[in-house]
Structure 1
């Protein structure tokens, strides 16, 4: 299976990261990172030498030109809808109390949320592609984005291309709408699913019925992870693998582990702990990238979940939205 490109569809964002003390105002300077869930996955996979395509949207100005050049420098093939407008942004400090850090989105309107996604023919998009990845952030952004997700997933299924979906829930993006109405339409085309027991409940209407005590070492979490995965596969036999990530934070402390359900068996990773976290963005995307890497490489399920968990945990100590050269999946 180790051939062909990985196609990611989603919004490219600028992440403004002011310091939490407010010194950025006096210094008139703040850090800016390139981000977006699908881009974060694409960036990691490209760093690990996978051929990657990103289907997105860019503004027709110097910002769009610079971003396109940056992606090409990372060896990401760019399929960009181009139009007059602005790139989406969000604000999130990269220091201070990670548990209570506030995210401010500024992505409506943007070139992505206003795009009709009609510039590229199916063969341009799917040529040499073996895997399609999307997160549930994308269908939340606009009706056109949702319809494009559905169209891409249907086309991928028809072409026998593996489809992965990350159940990222962002309440601010759904704005009171019921997210399950749209996501349930996508599920018949999904082969690899990532999220956690609570996002599964939110998106797929599969309830958390086990009594949980709110701690990371609650054994009922594993029971619920297996129960939720079993229910998913009953409803959607096309789903071959279900991943759950568990991140418990208190102040700067974090406990982290993951599960992977495949072939009727629940695999549980080693747990990880740290007294301090450096970055809260992109950990789940790093996990997803490592999962895709492991599946494409044909690694055993046990190795996939251990590698993906280790990558995700290490990302908590890398500033910015994407991994850097310190995280080499072949040398963990």
Structure 2
């Protein structure tokens, strides 16, 4: 428990145009970035959480770093260099997979990273768990190479590694497909999280197209078992495979549940149903943070899965990129929820 969890990825500002923003001269914003969301959640829940990113050295980024530190995140390893902070524009309530998302990340400090620059011995000092996502290698070939460099260093130190296979079509624009990059990175990982369709996009593991037609929880979970088995066969270091299932059925509302596969067993969570939600961004980050929280603390698998799922579901009703729900609030909700 004295070992720390390090989250690596680009710190972003999320700008939220909505309503009559142009005439009101008002653009709400949130601190964003998938891995920053994980880092703040873990710190909120009492784990020793470190965040490593690269940002320009200016008054605004120093203030953001101080804000993260106030949240309990260790920011001592942040690298200050380069020209600008990355941005993205997305109205509240929309999904990052939505075609309307606008990225403004070219030439950011993080996207300008090159191999051979970072002292990984220093960055990974006293780290027991490393988390990253498929968003970073989606930026360009140099950042993908930095990810490889990081994973090799972490593996040499015996660090547990998790990856979120979040797919962002608008980011994979440098002439390679995700399947040309992500399998080699997944080779180093112990926990792989995503969904059936992300596994297809990122790792080339096909999804049965008839699933959408039958649209039953039983069929989705059976496919999760098959996909998880295939991932473990292809990537021998993987010990856990997690899948999220979130479906918007219009008037019937939102359905949300998850699964976690390990040691030939597929665990699945209770199912959450709601007529509507507030903000889709960051739910997956909250989920992977919940898994890391439970597994790092040695909690039983089913208990870990239920906590992570409840945390992710609760995030759907929080108007920001990251959760603000303490662990005890999530625990109370998860034990009291009945459908």
Q: Is this a same-fold pair by TM over 0.5?
A: yes
- Residue deviations 1:25-47, cap 9 Å, x none? 12111211001011110110011
Out of 274-283 and 60-69, give the one that drifted further. 60-69
Cα pair 1:259 1:268 within 8 Å, conserved:
yes
Equivalent-residue separation in structure 1 for 2:97 and 2:132 (angstroms):
26
Residues 1:17 and 2:35 aligned together? no
Quote the residue 1:283 is aligned against: 283
CA distance in 1, matches of 2:217, 2:321: 30
Q: What is the CA deviation profile of residues 183-207 of structure 1, one whole-angstrom value per residue up to 9, with x for unaligned ones?
A: 1111221000000111111111111
User: What is the 5 A alignment of 1:78-93?
Assistant: 78=75, 79-93=77-91
- The 1-side partners of 2:72 and 2:132 are apart by 19
- Cα–Cα, structure 1 residues 201 and 51, in superposed 2: closer, same or farther, change >3 Å? same
Distance of 1:215 and 1:179 partners within structure 2: 28
The one of 93, 100, 103 aligned to 1:102 = 100
- Say yes or no: does 1:321 pair with 2:332: no
What is the Cα deviation at residue 329 of structure 1?
Answer: 4.3
Q: Deviations over 1:229-261 (max 9, x none)?
A: 111111112100000000111458311100110
Which whole-Å CA distance do the structure 1 matches of 2:82 and 2:119 have between them? 21
8 Å contact kept, 1:197–1:228: yes
Q: Call closer, same or farther: CA 1:95–1:123 in 2, change over 3 Å.
A: closer
Give the match for residue 3 of structure 2: 4
The CA distance in 2 between the partners of 1:154 and 1:272, in whole Å, is 39
Unaligned runs of 5+ in 2: 334-339
Moved more, 207-216 or 192-201: 207-216
Cα deviation for residue 75 of structure 1 reads 2.1
Deviates more, 1:137-146 or 1:74-83: 74-83
Check whether the contact 1:81–1:115 (CA below 8 A) recurs between aligned residues.
no
> Which stretch shifts more, 60-69 or 238-247?
60-69
| Aligned counterpart, 1:151 | 149
* Alignment equivalent of 1:32, drawn from 29, 34, 40: 29
Write the distance in 2 (CA, Å) between the matches of 1:216 and 1:80.
44
Which 10-residue stretch deviates more, 139-148 or 262-271? 139-148
Instruction: Please state whether the residue corresponding to 2:88 is helix, strand or coil.
Output: strand
Q: How does 1:304-319 map to 2 (within 5 A)?
A: 304-319=304-319
The offset of 1:326, in angstroms, is 5.7
Matched, 1:249 2:253: no
Greater shift, 142-151 or 189-198, is seen at: 142-151
1:216 Cα shift? 5.0
Q: 2:158 aligns with which of 154, 157, 160?
A: 160
CA distance in 1, matches of 2:67, 2:105: 21
- RMSD value, Cα: 2.1
The unaligned stretches of length 5 or more in structure 1 are: none
SS in 2 for 1:273: strand
The alignment's TM-score, normalised by the length of structure 2, stands at: 0.91
Distance (whole Å) between structure 1 residues aligned to residue 215 and residue 305 of structure 2: 17
User: In 2, Cα distance between the equivalents of 1:249 and 1:215?
Assistant: 15
Shifted more, 65-74 versus 290-299: the winner is: 65-74
Matched position secondary structure for 2:187:
helix
| Structure 2 CA distance for aligned equivalents of residues 96 and 80 of structure 1 | 30
Q: Which has the larger share of strand?
A: 1
Cα gap change, 1:101 to 1:31, in 2 (>3 Å): farther
Do the aligned residues in 1 keep the contact of 2:310 with 2:330 (CA within 8 Å)? no
Q: How does the TM-score come out when normalised to structure 1?
A: 0.93
